[in-house]
Amino acid sequence: MGILFLVPLLAKKDSPFAQYHAKQGLVLFIAEIILYAVGFVLTFITFGFGFFITWIIWLLVIILVILGIVNAVSGKTTPLPVIGKMAENWKI
């Protein structure tokens, strides 16, 4: 979902709910970029095994994106697993 976090960040600047989910999405996006870069490097170092790791990372990111969308649509401010607490501490 990439830069989808920008929508609530820019459209609903005064909404704490929208900002909460924008921060969750931003941290997920940054983590995704870092993990994909690591997977890309591992693909070359391990002669292709890193591709498998990158596929697992992609799957985990998709699960977190879906979970975040479900939380937002349901009106919940439940942090995403692993990265959610970190996002709550960020100031945007």
What pLDDT does residue 42 have? Answer: 86
Count of domains for the chain: 1
53: containing domain? 17-73
Express each pLDDT in 50-86 by its tens digit: 788 889 988 999 999 999 999 999 999 999 998 888 8
Are 19 and 12 spatial neighbours (Cβ–Cβ below 8 Å)? yes
Is residue 9 assigned to a domain? Answer: no
Is residue 23 assigned to a domain? Answer: yes
Express each pLDDT in 10-44 by its tens digit: 887 788 898 888 889 989 999 999 988 988 888 88
Is residue 47 assigned to a domain? Answer: yes
Q: What is the pTM of this model?
A: 0.83
Is residue 56 assigned to a domain? Answer: yes
DSSP 12-78: -TT-HHHHHHHHHHHHHHHHHHHHHHHHHHHHHHTTTHHHHHHHHHHHHHHHHHHHHHHHHHTT--P
What pLDDT does residue 44 have? Answer: 85
